[in-house]
């Protein structure tokens, strides 16, 4: 508890600085520690209101993040389509990632650039029957 109090200037607290309350909240490690801190430094109503606004804003951002992830993760979503094109590439059917993206983008209902980006940093198929280097030899 001492380390929280040392980092907060008492003059700032008496001015009703909501930022001080928020920083103290972030530094506490448990509900009991937060409760003890509030008992020792009762906040003014303005500081509490600002802290509530910060909490609501954070909750809204988290909710939006979860909703977006649900959409991306559902069957036919962007992550599913990425897995599909990566699995198609892994079959070794195509001689290059560009050809794979070009041939498969319409089937997956994605743009060529999206399909090509989804194939970035993928390993070459093994075995790779369509390997262009094998055809030259």
Question: Based on the structure, what is the number of domains in the chain?
Answer: 2
Residue 17 is part of which domain span?
A: 2-73
What percent of the chain clears pLDDT 90, i.e. is strictly above it?
50
Q: Is the pLDDT of residue 58 over 60?
A: yes
Residues 6+ apart with CB under 8 A from 89: 97, 100, 119, 122, 125
Last residue of a domain, one of 35, 54, 73: 73
Task: Determine contact, residues 68/75, Cβ cutoff 8 Å.
Answer: no
136 or 11: whose pLDDT is higher? 136
* Spatial separation of the C-alpha atoms in residues 99 and 84, rounded to whole Å: 15
pLDDT of residue 13 exceeding 70: no
* 11: pLDDT strictly greater than 50: no
* Alpha helix (H) residue ranges in the chain: 2-6, 10-14, 18-27, 31-40, 45-73, 78-90, 97-108, 112-118, 132-136
pLDDT above 90 (res 134): no
- Cα–Cα distance for residue pair 45/49, rounded to 1 Å: 6
> Model confidence over 76-93: pLDDT tens digits?
999 999 999 999 999 999
pLDDT, tens digit, 9 for 90 and up, residues 29-38: 999 998 998 8
3-state DSSP assignment of residue 9? coil
66 and 90 inside one domain? no
More confident residue, 22 or 106: 106
Q: Does residue 62 share a domain with residue 84? A: no
Residues 43 and 89 in one domain: no
Query: In this predicted model, which residue has the larger pLDDT, 29 or 134?
Result: 29
Q: Which of 50, 73, 96 is the last residue of a domain?
A: 73
Report the C-alpha gap between 27 and 85 in whole angstroms.
45
Question: Among the ranges 14-28, 48-62, 105-119, which has the highest mean pLDDT value?
Answer: 105-119
């Amino acid at each position: 508890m001492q380390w929280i109090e040392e980092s907060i200037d008492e003059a700032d607290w008496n001015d009703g600085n909501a930022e001080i309350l928020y920083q103290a909240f972030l530094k506490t490690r448990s509900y009991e520690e937060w409760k003890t801190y509030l008992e020792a430094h009762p906040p003014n109503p303005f500081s509490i209101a600002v802290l509530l606004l910060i909490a609501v804003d954070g909750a809204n951002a988290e909710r939006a993040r979860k909703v977006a992830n649900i959409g991306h993760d559902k069957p036919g979503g962007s992550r599913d389509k990425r897995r599909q094109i990566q699995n198609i590439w892994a079959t070794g059917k195509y001689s290059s990632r560009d050809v794979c993206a070009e041939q498969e983008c319409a089937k997956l209902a994605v743009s060529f650039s999206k399909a090509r980006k989804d194939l970035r940093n993928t390993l070459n198929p093994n075995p790779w029957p369509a390997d262009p280097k094998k055809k030259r030899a």
